[in-house]
Amino acid sequence: MSYRSLRRERLYRDHVDLFAGSDDYLIERFRLPRPVLLELCNTLEPALRSRTKRSNPVPPHVQVLSALGFLATGSFQRELGDRVELSQSTISRCLQQVLDGIVQLAPQYIQFPYTDQEQIPVKSAFQAIAGLPNTIGVIDCTHVRIKGPSPDPLPYLNRKNFHSINVQIICDAQNHLLNVVSRFPGGAHDSYILQNSSVGVHLENGDTGDAWLIGDSEYPLAPWLMTPLANPETEKEVAYNWRHAQTHSTAERCIGLLKKRWRCLDEAGGKLLYKPEKVCRLIMACCVLHNIAMKSGVPLDLEPPYQPPRHDVGPEPSLHPENSQAVQVRQQLISQIGGGRLCQWGSSGGRLCQWGSSGGRLCQWGSSGGRLG
């Protein structure tokens, strides 16, 4: 009798119903509730349906949920394989196929507001935060730790001496991602990534009109990118920096949400052991899933507030050449929004007073009943 005739027939046995349990259980394990999971599985099914002639291929929904389980927890794939009785190589292959399918959805779920009609609600939401007008996004970068790739790991080594992918994100006031660039090594400076991204080219060409982004001091001041003042002197300048910081904190919160929802991106999940090209696609897939979750209203508990590690990696910030037009635009903005009387009492019901450019006092009641203003 030949060896071939002794081989056991390959058989997938669906011992575990991965959809079993409440929505809370599914959100904990896969970060999405049942209706959203089912819709995602249906969307990806044509791309994941196996063309193999073997019997009992891995069902698309098992591929999707196995991949989401890894992205959500950062757990080593063998643990997921044991749960659904799949081999390590099969889980790894499923992950790659699911990532490719999700990345294909990026143009549908991650869209930058280039037109006036798209910009109106984005500008309005940002102005409600701290009074900065014309803002169509806040920009920042975050690092995802990876294993140093061979044969040339040096470009991926950042200033904090670990290997990473430097990811540029632009988000709106509701923490939706508007643009993601996840193809640059950790040694690339934030401003270099923006300069070499398609959104940076569009902004430089004036394709967004008179609107601007809000960025930190890692970026050069531009007519379409407002940065903080290095040494504010007047009351108006101090008020501008405060408004800028309040608005820019949206990006830090968005990064925190992204990394808490998809723990494989967070240092708590350890470093990713894949090649940089696969990590870049994994990051983009997580960003698409982040927007799916946000647009579907999927809850994510951030109590206590999650603070992603701030590495400030990359080359030391250089003195960017001064752009006279950009300086003029920023000064006009500072004059337009006026000075602000900023006072704060305690953190538990502390008071924040702010005077608008027209002299009106802006007051708000906090969720705990403490009055702000």
C-beta neighbour count of 15 within 10 angstroms: 8
Q: Which residue has the higher pLDDT, 312 or 76?
A: 76
Q: What is the DSSP letter of 75?
A: -
DSSP state of 9: P
State residue 83's pLDDT score: 67
In this prediction, residue 52 carries a pLDDT of: 53
Question: What is the model's pLDDT at position 82?
Answer: 67
User: Between these two residues, 59 and 155, which has the higher pLDDT value?
Assistant: 155
CB 284 within 8 A of CB 277: no
Question: Collapsing DSSP states into helix, strand and coil, what is residue 195?
Answer: helix
Give the model confidence (pLDDT) of 315-349 as tens digits: 444 456 778 999 999 999 999 987 654 444 333 33
pLDDT band at 351 (very low <50, low <70, confident <90, very high): very low
**pLDDT of 287:** 98
pTM of the model: 0.84
pLDDT in the model for residue 49:
83
pLDDT class of 169 with cuts at 50, 70, 90: very high
Instruction: Please tell me the predicted confidence (pLDDT) of residue 173.
Output: 98
Q: Is the pLDDT of residue 53 over 60?
A: no
Please give the full DSSP string across 122-183, using - where no structure is assigned.
HHHHHHHHHS--SEEEEEEEEEEEBPPPSS--GGGB-TTSSBEEEEEEEE-TTS-EEEEEEE
H or E stretch at 355: strand 352-355
Measure the CA–CA gap between 43 and 289, rounded to whole angstroms.
13
Which residue would you say has higher pLDDT here, 353 or 137?
A: 137
Q: How many CB atoms lie within 10 A of CB 8?
A: 5
Tell me the residue type at 26.
Answer: L
- Give the model's pLDDT for residue 315: 41
* Mean pLDDT on 26-42: 94
Does residue 77 or residue 167 have the better pLDDT?
167
Measure the CA–CA gap between 329 and 212, rounded to whole angstroms.
10
* pLDDT over threshold 70, residue 264: yes
pLDDT, one tens digit per residue, over 80-114 is 666 667 777 777 888 999 999 999 999 999 999 99
